[in-house]
Homo-oligomer: A and B are copies of this chain.
Amino acid sequence: MKVLIVHAHPEPKSFTAALRDQAVATLEAQGHEVQVSDLYKMNWNPVASDADFSNRENPEYLVYALEQRLGVKSQSLAADIQAELDKLLWADLLILNFPIFWFSAPAMLKGWIDRVLVSGICYGGKRFYDQGGLAGKKALVTVTLGGREHMFGEGAIHGPLEDMLRPILRGTLAYVGFDVLEPFVAWHVPYISEEARQQFLVDYSQRLQHLSDDQPLVFPKLAQFDDKLYPLTTNG
């Protein structure tokens, strides 16, 4: 398996980085090939802008997705985007590895999503969800957070973590066609003992060794909707 880990944490010695390293070691020991995009280290530019296109469909008015499509066709995407896109297309498994900032990804990683998941390849027209451009690939979200596990779930103060992660799990990864696996979550990280951290690393390694047994989360399929994307059960 070919694996791309996209890592975004402002502290190089963070526990999130230890999870990244654990993933590299575990996956390589199993014979998989691994590439890492360490966004802070790369000084990744997270800002989607007109500077991403040297060759504009419409130089007067920027519609970002439209310019992505032309950029793909004319092979004129910005070099940093193209390099990440190449890794993404190479990979069978994408791991997004990050600390939860405001119940979602740090801006650094959000900007990787905004710029790299280009229209014309990753999605476009009716190519989304199970018909998405990256169908056949798997994705795993690995996160660290400050909250305790009992603060998440039905009836808990923040509700289910998967609901907070919905724009990433469903709106991004499932949207472009990934089989999205259940997130791996390290809870309460800033406050736990070294032993508890080590246990998360062991659990993560175990999880990665048996990833092929995981059932992906369930999301909509285009066949459940009509041509105008109304649900077939009520309109078909």
A residues bordering B, Cβ < 8 Å? 10-11, 13-14, 40, 46-50, 61-65, 101-108, 110-111, 113-114, 117, 129, 146, 148, 150-151, 155-159, 163-168, 170-172, 175, 190, 220, 225, 228-231, 233-234
Q: When the two chains form their complex, are residues B106 and A104 in contact, meaning their CB atoms are under 8 A apart? A: no
Q: Which residues of B contact A164 (CB under 8 A)?
A: 166-167, 170-171
Q: When the two chains form their complex, are residues A230 and B10 in contact, meaning their CB atoms are under 8 A apart? A: no
Q: When the two chains form their complex, are residues B107 and A102 in contact, meaning their CB atoms are under 8 A apart? A: no
Q: From B50, B172, B220, give the contact of A102 (CB < 8 A).
A: B172
Q: Which residues of B contact A40 (CB under 8 A)?
A: 47, 49
Q: How far is the CA of A229 from the CA of B155 in the complex (A)?
A: 11
Q: How far is the CA of A166 from the CA of B164 in the complex (A)?
A: 6
Known: A48-B107, A102-B117, A158-B220. 11 other contacts (CB 8 A): A10-B50, A47-B108, A48-B101, A102-B171, A107-B107, A107-B108, A107-B110, A110-B110, A155-B231, A155-B234, A163-B163
Q: How far is the CA of A61 from the CA of B104 in the complex (A)?
A: 22
Q: How far is the CA of A213 from the CA of B31 in the complex (A)?
A: 62
Q: How far is the CA of A50 from the CA of B9 in the complex (A)?
A: 11
Q: From B61, B166, B230, give the contact of A166 (CB < 8 A).
A: B166
Q: How far is the CA of A65 from the CA of B104 in the complex (A)?
A: 15
Q: How far is the CA of A108 from the CA of B163 in the complex (A)?
A: 23
Q: How far is the CA of A50 from the CA of B10 in the complex (A)?
A: 7
Closest to A146 in B: B65
Q: From B61, B171, B220, give the contact of A103 (CB < 8 A).
A: B171
Closest to A12 in B: B62
Q: When the two chains form their complex, are residues A48 and B10 in contact, meaning their CB atoms are under 8 A apart? A: yes
Q: Which residues of B contact A103 (CB under 8 A)?
A: 166-167, 170-172, 175
Q: Which residues of B contact A166 (CB under 8 A)?
A: 103, 159, 163-164, 166-167
Q: When the two chains form their complex, are residues B231 and A156 in contact, meaning their CB atoms are under 8 A apart? A: yes
Q: When the two chains form their complex, are residues B110 and A104 in contact, meaning their CB atoms are under 8 A apart? A: yes
Q: How far is the CA of A159 from the CA of B166 in the complex (A)?
A: 10
Q: When the two chains form their complex, are residues A63 and B108 in contact, meaning their CB atoms are under 8 A apart? A: no
**Which of A114, A150, A164: most chain B CB closer than 10 A?**
A114
Q: How far is the CA of A71 from the CA of B165 in the complex (A)?
A: 29
Given contacts A11-B61, A157-B220, contact A229 B104 (CB under 8 A): no
